[in-house]
């Protein structure tokens, strides 16, 4: 059964690309031209970063890698890319010139809002599926997934 579960996880991960169904729905099929132009340029991680920053703005850049569960260099490269795409701005903190804060541009905020709306719809679908399982079964499954993630997380 472990092989089947890991294979399913790998299938789920393989669905992630810059032009997968989620990004097609969020970006390619959007009625706004500036959002459609981002299709093929954003990864799931990029969109997740925008959604995370939207929750707390301004957002300390040094905290980003821990919140998204990626390395600091990967987070920095993603931030640089999002700045070039005019989705983020980075400024020095007023009280500490060694730290950077991130804020969404209006375009970045629109992408974050699209992601939040998409997640709400997905959550409703997942709730329907989850209704077939007990809370204890779901908790065990979540624990299992977290342990698998820990295997792949750099120490």
pLDDT band of 154, cuts 50, 70, 90: low
Residue 2 above 60 pLDDT? yes
Q: Are 59 and 102 in contact (CB under 8 A)?
A: yes
Please give the CATH architecture assigned to the domain spanning 18-124. Orthogonal Bundle (1.10)
Q: Are 79 and 64 in contact (CB under 8 A)?
A: yes
Overall pTM > 0.75 = yes
Question: How many Å apart are CA 108 and CA 54, to the nearest integer?
Answer: 9
DSSP string over 21-49: HHHIIIIIT-SSHHHHTTTTT--HHHHHH
Q: 72-84 and 44-55 are packed helices; what angle lies between their axes, rounded to 10 degrees?
A: 90
- Please measure the distance between the N-terminal and C-terminal CA atoms of the chain and give it in whole angstroms: 27
Read off the pLDDT of residues 97-143 as tens digits, 9 standing for 90 and up.
788 999 999 999 999 999 999 889 889 999 999 999 999 999 999 89
Residue 24 above 80 pLDDT? no
What is the distance of C-alpha 94 from the center of its chain?
Answer: 28
The residue ranges of every structural domain in the chain are: 18-124
Read off the pLDDT of residues 27-39 as tens digits, 9 standing for 90 and up.
888 889 999 898 8
Q: Are 13 and 7 in contact (CB under 8 A)?
A: no
């Amino acid at each position: 059964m472990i092989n089947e579960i890991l294979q399913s996880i790998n299938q789920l991960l393989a669905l992630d690309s810059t032009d997968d169904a989620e990004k097609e729905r969020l970006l390619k099929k959007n009625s706004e031209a500036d959002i459609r132009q981002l299709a093929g340029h954003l990864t799931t991680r990029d969109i997740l970063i925008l959604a995370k920053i939207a929750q707390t703005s301004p957002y300390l850049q040094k905290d980003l890698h821990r919140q998204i569960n990626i390395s600091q260099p990967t987070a920095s490269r993603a931030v640089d890319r999002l700045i070039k795409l005019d989705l983020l701005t980075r400024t020095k903190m007023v009280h500490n010139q060694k730290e950077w804060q991130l804020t969404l541009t209006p375009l970045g905020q629109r992408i974050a809002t699209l992601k939040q709306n998409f997640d709400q719809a997905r959550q409703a679908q997942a709730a329907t599926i989850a209704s077939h399982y007990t809370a204890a079964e779901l908790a065990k499954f979540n624990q299992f997934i977290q342990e698998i993630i820990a295997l792949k997380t750099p120490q």
